[in-house]
Structure 1
Amino acid sequence: MRIKSRFQNISIKQADVFTILVVFFFTLVFVGLLVEELYKEYEIALEQSHVVKNPLISDSTILKQNQKKLKALLIKTVLAIVTLSFIIFAIFLGLNTLFNKLLQRDTQTFLDAFKTAIDKEKTIDSKSIFFQDFKMMVGYANEMVSKINEQKKNLKELNLGLEERVKKKTAALLEINKNLEEEKTFSQDLLKSQKEFLRYTVHETNTPLSVILTSIELYLMKNPKDRQLSKIEAATKNIFSIYDDLSYLVKKDHVEYTKSVINLNNFLSSRIDFFREVAEFSLITFNYNSPKYEKHVHFNETKLQRIIDNTLTNAIKYTLPNESVEVSLKKIGSYIEFIVSSKSKTIQDTDKVFEAYYREEKGRDGFGLGLRLVKSICDAEGVNINVSSDEASTTFRYKFKAMGD
């Protein structure tokens, strides 16, 4: 395998030298064998010359004459053979050198043509080739070079086209990025303006709402309540609940809501009293019996109020007329369960009621943000929520961690 791999990498010139050496070696072997054969015949002839005797001539004289003749013949024959061998070898060497030079010239022509074809479109002239086999290869080589150059031109044109398209695409992308940056800046400014407007609106709404409720209370101290005044009071309290939601949304990312110990019985009673007028105006009553034992939770008051207020207002909104909303607190293990239950239309998908803007009854007012706000607070504070609904009732359950457990 090693010998084969070496011969695969040999050049024509090296092959020439190797061939000449081999031929020269075999020529020497041939001459040596021939001379050896003649020498054996010479020895046989000498032996035979001793056998032939002539009575007129002495043996020594005849032997010397025969030896001289045979030596002369041997030398002459050896010189003739060696001379002829070297003449034949010289002729072979000359012809081999001539054809090898022609072969090398043709091969070099192909090599130069291929090397030049890398940069220039140049073909091979068949008249400059000596061997017929190479002349046949010229056509294929020229066709190959032509196709390569044609493909190079096509690739060059394609590259130019691609560069142009890339430049146009890049310019378009830069323009799009510029527009996106402008739109992003505009959106950020708009969002900032919206937040500032909402913050300002929430801040400015608090005062007139407080004035309205205070005025209603002062009026009721001197005058009996009528239906129109009840409508105003109920509407104002609804606005107050919405105001509290907006206030929490505006402040929640900027204010730290600290926790405190809250008497859940008293807190829930106060919120029910706040919405009782609103419920009665909707022909709904609250049924709440405060537990005998006080139940405390460690919670933020603002967040707790958002959970309770939105749950109560949602019950008022969807409970059927002339029905009651059952509110209760239960101690279950180490948890306190806040339960609100009433008869309403069956909720088809209880998982979606906490999604923003979701309302099963499209005719109802509102954006569906209240329960979404409740869900975000419960998720953040680890409060478990369970909603069940059938033809008999719809029930919301919230499990708070009880104090001391």
Structure 2
Amino acid sequence: MKEKLKKLQRYMMIRFNVITIRQANIITTLVILLFTIVFAYLLIKENYHDYEKTLSKQHHDQVIGTQEVYNYEAAQEKLKSLLIKNTLAIATLAFILFGIMLGFYKIFNTLLQRDMQVFLDFFKDVTHSDQVMNPNVIFFKEFKTMGLHVNDMIDTIKGHKRRLRELNLSLEDKVQEKTKDLERILDAQKEFLRYTVHETNTPLSVILTSLELYEMKHEKDRDLAKVEAAAKNIFSIYDDLSYLVKKEHVNYPKASIDIHKFIQSRIDFFSEVANLSNLSFSYISEVKDVYIFFNETKLQRIIDNSITNAIKYTYQNEIVEITLKKTLHEVEFSIGSYSQPISDVNKIFDAYYREEGSSLSAEHSFGIGLRLVKNICEEENVKILLDLSKEKNTFRYIFTTMGE
């Protein structure tokens, strides 16, 4: 029996799992009414059977005669009247009981709905406040117990929220403190870098000047050329660092620049570096007296980093090909090197990116140079194009000529 009840319960849960309280009330009322009607019907039916039995008995025992027939008909009318009275009494009593049952059901159902509404209103309001539930407004004992558990839960949540607020405030203070410490460290590093860059300029200038004077007085040898090439590489790195340190605080004005002569001067500056790497430059300029409106420091960073990058990655005994040509409104500076293919084009302009799988990857990286070049080109609307193959990598920079 218990197993059947459990199966019936599971069936009801599955079949009516989305029923509302109002629908449940209507169904319950109809069920009570149905049982009342069935109960009244069974009583009336039993009363009618008794009536039929009595009539049958009287008919069997009657004596034939006028007086006896009259008595039989009178008795039959009396029984019929009694049947009607009993039927009406049974029906009336059944519906009185139905009304009483329905009334009690409505009373307790109203109280049940009121308690449930208290819970619904509480859970609706508690999302915006920290109020607790008043168990005294609840009628049923089980719901009072639930209210006490709900209040305990609210107190626990309030405690967690309070600790979280305290933790957040503590974290905010710690973050602010750490941020200030980090800002002080960064400021100190920037100041140190500014000081280092500033102090490096003088000895580098002295080294280069002394080398030039020595070459004027003595014959140039390979060891001295190595020193000069190393000093020029350091000077190029110094120029990059100097630009990075000063770019946020120094205004770099633009001026009219003869780009052909400017490129030639930078090639001359790095020619000794190329020679020591067993490389040579091939500079072909299809234009003369072409001017661009650009800042000289930024232009030098683009050209110097492109040249030093080509020297770093070009195979020995090869030629670094540099060209300058003009289109209708633009001038194109390109530099090509015979070197290993670039495996990831999208990352070569990232700072400190290192090509994997390259024989040079263990010793060299693209450093900050190409990243600096990309930033300047984006600031000044200079287009960068790459022509890559298995044998040769070419970087192309397209500048707008003056007056365009």
Q: TM-score range, shorter-chain basis?
A: 0.5 to 0.7
The normalised TM-score by structure 1 is 0.65
Provide the rounded CA distance (Å) in 2 between the counterparts of 1:319 and 1:367. 13
Partner of 2:367: 368
Provide the rounded CA distance (Å) in 1 between the counterparts of 2:339 and 2:149. 76
Is 1:294 aligned to 2:289, yes or no? yes
Contact 2:253 2:295 in 1 (8 A): yes
Q: How far off is 1:365 after superposition?
A: 3.1
Provide the rounded CA distance (Å) in 2 between the counterparts of 1:254 and 1:212. 28
Is 1:325 aligned to 2:323, yes or no? no
Change (3 A) 1:185 1:120: closer
Contact 1:269 1:290 in 2 (8 A): no
State the Cα deviation string for residues 236-274 of structure 1 (Å, max 9, x = none): 000000000011111111111111110111110100000
Provide the rounded CA distance (Å) in 1 between the counterparts of 2:225 and 2:193. 29
**Structure 1 residue corresponding to 2:214, chosen from 203, 214, 219:** 219
Is 1:208 aligned to 2:206, yes or no? no
Partner of 1:77: none
Partner of 1:139: none
Provide the rounded CA distance (Å) in 2 between the counterparts of 1:364 and 1:341. 21
Provide the rounded CA distance (Å) in 1 between the counterparts of 2:205 and 2:316. 29
SS in 1 for 2:345: coil
Provide the rounded CA distance (Å) in 1 between the counterparts of 2:303 and 2:137. 91
Contact 1:121 1:146 in 2 (8 A): no
**Structure 2 residue corresponding to 1:309, chosen from 294, 304, 308:** 304
Contact 1:202 1:247 in 2 (8 A): yes
Identity among equivalent pairs (%): 48
Change (3 A) 1:325 1:154: same
Q: How far off is 1:404 after superposition?
A: 3.3
State the Cα deviation string for residues 123-149 of structure 1 (Å, max 9, x = none): 9xxxxxxxxxxxxxxxxxx6xx11221
Letter in 2 for 1:261: S
**Structure 2 residue corresponding to 1:277, chosen from 272, 293, 296:** 272
Partner of 1:197: 192
Q: How far off is 1:351 after superposition?
A: 2.5
SS in 1 for 2:288: coil
Contact 2:348 2:366 in 1 (8 A): no
The equivalences for 1:343-358 within 5 A come to 343-358=338-353
Partner of 2:230: 235
Is 1:245 aligned to 2:244, yes or no? no
Tell which structure's C-alpha radius of gyration is larger.
1
Q: How far off is 1:356 after superposition?
A: 1.5
Partner of 1:397: 396
Provide the rounded CA distance (Å) in 1 between the counterparts of 2:402 and 2:137. 96
Q: How far off is 1:363 after superposition?
A: 1.5
Letter in 2 for 1:396: F
Provide the rounded CA distance (Å) in 2 between the counterparts of 1:165 and 1:350. 51
Consecutive unaligned residues of structure 1, counting only runs of 5 or more, are 1-105, 124-141
**Structure 2 residue corresponding to 1:338, chosen from 333, 338, 355:** 333
Change (3 A) 1:146 1:303: same
Provide the rounded CA distance (Å) in 1 between the counterparts of 2:183 and 2:337. 43
State the Cα deviation string for residues 279-336 of structure 1 (Å, max 9, x = none): 1111110111344522111110000000000000000000000001011100112110
> 4+ residue runs of structure 1 moved beyond 4 angstroms?
117-123
Contact 2:309 2:366 in 1 (8 A): no
Cα RMSD of the aligned pairs, angstroms, is 2.8
The equivalences for 1:111-130 within 5 A come to none
SS in 2 for 1:351: helix
Partner of 2:263: 268
Letter in 2 for 1:369: I
The equivalences for 1:127-138 within 5 A come to none
Contact 1:259 1:300 in 2 (8 A): yes
Change (3 A) 1:216 1:152: same
State the Cα deviation string for residues 169-189 of structure 1 (Å, max 9, x = none): 222222222221111111111
Letter in 2 for 1:297: I
Q: How far off is 1:367 after superposition?
A: 5.8
